[in-house]
Amino acid sequence: MCKYLLIACLFIFSCTQKETKSSETNSLNVKDYFNYGDTGVLSAGVKMIPVKTDKGTFKVWTKRFGNNPRIKILLLHGGPATTHEYMECFESFFPQEGFEFYEYDQLGSYYSDQPDDTSLWTLDRFVEEVDQVRNAIHADSSNFYLLGNSWGGLLAMQYSLKYQNHMKGLIVADMMASCPDYGRYANDVLSKQMDPAVLKQIRDIEAKGDYSNPKYMELLLPNFYNQHLCRLPIWPEAINRTFKHMNSKIYTMMQGPSEFGVGGSLANWDITNRLKEIAVPTLMIGAKFDTMDPDAMEAQSKAVKHGRYLYCPNGSHMCMWDDQQIFMSGVIKFIKDVDESNF
């Protein structure tokens, strides 16, 4: 009898502890949530963080939302060299949960310094940049979550292979672990969904290397981007700003001329066989209409040591917009589960 009573007491204590942790996250009042301890002239959470490189020290733009020492989320935008702007949608969801999170323009992007030295645009250097930003926001293995979309997901996976000892959780949205596989999926699956006449025009332009031809994007936008990048009939203003501010020089150098496959310096990037090394809790997110194979995203969730898969049946590459409720609820649940040791 005493044995069963002890077990019951331990169970109740465990549940109480979890409920206490959860309630602590959501119980911050507005004043505490937005108290960053700043003095002097306040800047709405915006800070330019210095980043040291072999070519000198530069500054990157960040914006902080919230105050939560247990949950600090750094958002990694896609591209390379788009902007944080299309990730502003997280502002409608994360504050309600009491999460502390950071929007961030990587070096070379619109709101950050844009040095001309092309030797800076390497994956390894970006990994070191992310770790310097992590250190600047005082995040560590007790509270640091990386959430990357597209190139940001690639960067997050590569970062975790070197610095997962600094992480609490990893969220990879819409990025396969192999660029060659991504290219094959675009060529073997997605291209075959296009009107053959349109595809021929696109391939003819690519064969000539005439990527600055306005016709190229005129063809890609309705026939590929509106189908696989964002499926909303009217693109949100934040997405339009992102494309308006994209650094096309860096983007083309690393990604290639478009989202229709990959042809830049990242073309041979492949960590498929290293996913098993990622031990932090990981959420992989795929979408039915994505530029990335959703089956591959699910397989990645099983290849890491502690993975979960979130599928967005109505979403594309920006499923945080076009399948928003499923995307956000799944991400929030993952973060809460990891924070409450329920993962």
Enzyme catalytic residues: 150, 290, 317
| Pair of tokens at residue 241 | 């700003």
Which pair of tokens denotes residue 7? 């077990």
* Residues in contact with 142: Cβ distance below 8 Å, sequence separation at least 6, in sequence order: 70, 168
The rounded distance, in Å, linking the Cα atoms of 171 and 300 is: 12
The encoded tokens of residue 320 equal 């945080």
> How many residues comprise the chain?
343
- Give the separation between CA 227 and CA 39, rounded to whole angstroms: 47
Closest of 308, 310, 301 to residue 342, by C-alpha: 308
Largest CA distance in the chain: 82
The answer to whether the beta carbons of residues 68 and 100 sit under 8 Å apart is yes
Q: Which residue bears the tokens 């409720």?
A: 325
Residues in a beta bridge with 74: 102, 146
